[in-house]
Amino acid sequence: MTDSPQSPRLRAHACLLVERLRYGLDPMVPMLLIAAVVGAVSSIAVEGFRQSMYLIMNLYSDHAEHLVTAARSLPGWQRAAIPPLAAALGGLMMWAGQRWIKRPRGPEYMEAVRVGNGQLPLAPNLVRTTSSLVAVSGGITIGREGTMIQFAALISSIIGRIGRADTAHQRLVVACGAAAGFAAAYHAPIAGTLFVAEIILGGLQLREIAAVLVAAVIGELTTQSLFATGPLYLAHAVPPVNFIDLLDASLLGLMAGLLGPLFLWLLDSTRRAWQARVNWLPLRMGLAGLLIGLLSLIRPEVWGNGYSMVQSMLVDHWTLSTLALVFVLRLVAVTAASAAGIPGGVLTPTLALGGAMGLMVSHLLLVPEASHSQALWTLVGMGSLLAATTHAPAMSAIMMFEVTRNYNVVMAAMPACVIASVVGSLLRHRSVYAEALGLREHAEALGSAPPAQETAEPAAPGP
């Protein structure tokens, strides 16, 4: 059978079309497909971490999904003993893993995207993830979401290496994984995108942000479809915001802008002092866990990353004295956990402290004519303190809307977050993420950085 006279012409046209697609197609188009895959896989990784945590909590409590409830149900001796045991065991795992691997644990995902090549080493990160899993499952006052996002970024880095992505696209793949992990952890895809844009990429890179947004949305859709639906927090409806409310929101933003740099200074100075005095990581982590366990005998709200506390502040009545006590106890506990080098993040603990700050201010200083919405001032306080420590006002304000799905919050949170971010950055130029981004080392190379701070094993400053 012979070809028709038109067959060679058709084949030539087909070859020409393939060549045009090959050389004329924007490389960001296939990147969007990769971002969708990364988003789905990252959300599954985040949920896997969460379910593993619940399995460990089931060993000592019937309330596996809420650490504060679990702490409240335990006898006093167990409440005091579980955090130091979990922290010490996590420290032993990290110490043994470092001796066994005998290699640097590599950059944080932020540094890998911002100034690195997007490569995250597998073994050190798995050791760190497992150590964090054990510690947070025992009630340690540190954010598990930071480890979740690091784990999602690690999986994304592996996907990029399998696909033999070049350096630029490898970085973008890891950024997509971080955004998807953020979205899956907080049910906040827009905030996850802004988290990458404002903090990791250092600005809105329009070409890259499309892939990051796709990954974040697919990550959240996967989480909502397979694991959990609805917003992260349930809150009473927030009434429409008026101009008097904006005055109170500005006051909250100013207070957060003053408190944020003090909080970061406390974390840094305590970490330097503690790690200089106690060199052995398991002992250092165990002592921090012991302090957290003892503090939880006063109030069980000391346990965990602060999720249960925030949920309670949004719907339950809190007296001023109780708020002040829990605020101080959690501030001490978060500082101890971070200073000891317990792997995790401080984003969610910062939200809990900010919510308590906002609610305390609403008890004391609100203009009488303002709308006294407990949920509103809790959320504005959360976003303001977050903006003061991250220097990312857009991400902080939008996140307060997404975690409750209440749009009225944005009207008060946005000006408060802007004020907090401006004041916080004026008082302290380095955000909570400066070290994770690798900016210190690169600034030092240019001769413009302050003297290096020696730390044995700093806690992950991620979310």
pLDDT at position 420:
98
Residue 460 lies in a domain: no
Structure confidence at residue 441 as a pLDDT band (50, 70, 90): very low
Mean predicted confidence (pLDDT) in 268-286: 94
pLDDT at position 3:
52
| Distance in angstroms (rounded) separating the CA atoms of residues 306 and 289 | 16
Residue 451 lies in a domain: no
What is the pTM assigned to this prediction?
A: 0.89
| Domain identity same for 133 and 257 | no
pLDDT at position 366:
66
Q: Which of 37-51, 135-149, 235-249 has the lowest mean pLDDT?
A: 235-249
Residue 270, pLDDT above cutoff 90: yes
Instruction: Say if residues 98 and 105 touch (Cβ distance below 8 Å).
Output: yes
Tokens 């084949």 belong to residue? 11
H/E run at residue 362: helix 347-364
Residue 167 lies in a domain: yes
Q: What total number of domains does the chain contain? A: 2
Cα–Cα separations (whole angstroms), residue 454 to 109, 133, 313: 21, 26, 38
Structure confidence at residue 399 as a pLDDT band (50, 70, 90): very high
| Domain identity same for 113 and 185 | yes
Task: Locate 68 and state its tokens.
Answer: 């504060």
Residue 206 lies in a domain: yes
| Domain identity same for 123 and 197 | yes
Average pLDDT, the chain: 87
Comparison of pLDDT for 326 and 102, the residue scoring more: 326
Residue 459 lies in a domain: no
Q: Which of 235, 226, 215 shows the shortest CA–CA distance to 359?
A: 235
Structure confidence at residue 459 as a pLDDT band (50, 70, 90): very low
Tell me how crowded residue 250 is: count the other CB atoms within 10 A of its CB.
17
| Domain identity same for 206 and 331 | no
Instruction: Say if residues 148 and 181 touch (Cβ distance below 8 Å).
Output: yes
Residue 246, pLDDT above cutoff 80: yes
Phi, psi of 453 (to 5 degrees): -100, 120
Task: Say which amino acid occupies 166.
Answer: D
| Domain identity same for 216 and 348 | no
pLDDT at position 229:
82
Comparison of pLDDT for 384 and 5, the residue scoring more: 384
Mean predicted confidence (pLDDT) in 326-350: 96
Comparison of pLDDT for 237 and 379, the residue scoring more: 379
Question: Over the stretch 10-22, which tens digit does the pLDDT of each residue have?
Answer: 666 666 555 554 5
Residue 258, pLDDT above cutoff 70: yes
| Distance in angstroms (rounded) separating the CA atoms of residues 139 and 234 | 22
pLDDT at position 111:
86
| Domain identity same for 251 and 222 | no
Burial 261-276 (b: 16+ CB within 10 A, else e): bebbebbbebbbebbe
**Residue 97 sits in which domain range?**
23-226
| Distance in angstroms (rounded) separating the CA atoms of residues 160 and 166 | 9
| Domain identity same for 142 and 262 | no
Residue 442, pLDDT above cutoff 60: no
pLDDT at position 318:
92
Residues 6+ apart with CB under 8 A from 304: 67, 68, 71, 136, 139, 141
Mean predicted confidence (pLDDT) in 321-339: 97
Q: Which long-range contacts (CB under 8 A, 24 or more apart) does 51-54 make?
A: 52/133, 53/133, 53/136, 53/137, 53/144
Residue 235 lies in a domain: no
| Domain identity same for 249 and 222 | no
Tell me how crowded residue 255 is: count the other CB atoms within 10 A of its CB.
23
| Domain identity same for 219 and 262 | no
Q: Helices 347-364 and 320-339: crossing angle, nearest 10°? A: 160
pLDDT at position 126:
93
Phi, psi of 143 (to 5 degrees): -80, 120
Choose one of 196, 226, 256: the last residue of a domain.
226
Mean predicted confidence (pLDDT) in 402-411: 93
What are 345's strand-pairing partners?
Answer: 143
Residue 15 lies in a domain: no
| Domain identity same for 147 and 32 | yes
Q: Which of 31-45, 201-215, 441-455 has the lowest mean pLDDT?
A: 441-455
Structure confidence at residue 444 as a pLDDT band (50, 70, 90): very low
* DSSP per-residue string spanning 253-320: HHHHHHHHHHHHHHHHHHHHHHHHH---HHHHHHHHHHHHHHHHTT-GGGSSSSHHHHHHHHHS---H
| Distance in angstroms (rounded) separating the CA atoms of residues 449 and 451 | 7
| Domain identity same for 369 and 427 | yes
Side-chain half-sphere CA neighbours of 71 within 13 A = 31
* DSSP per-residue string spanning 14-53: HHHHHHHHHHHS-THHHHHHHHHHHHHHHHHHHHHHHHHH
Task: Locate 460 and state its tokens.
Answer: 């992950």
- CATH number of the domain that residue 33 is part of: 1.10.3080.10
| Domain identity same for 208 and 296 | no
| Distance in angstroms (rounded) separating the CA atoms of residues 249 and 278 | 42
Which of helix, strand or coil describes residue 69? helix
Burial category of 126 from C-beta neighbours within 10 Å (exposed 0-12, middle 13-18, buried 19 and up)? middle
Structure confidence at residue 369 as a pLDDT band (50, 70, 90): low
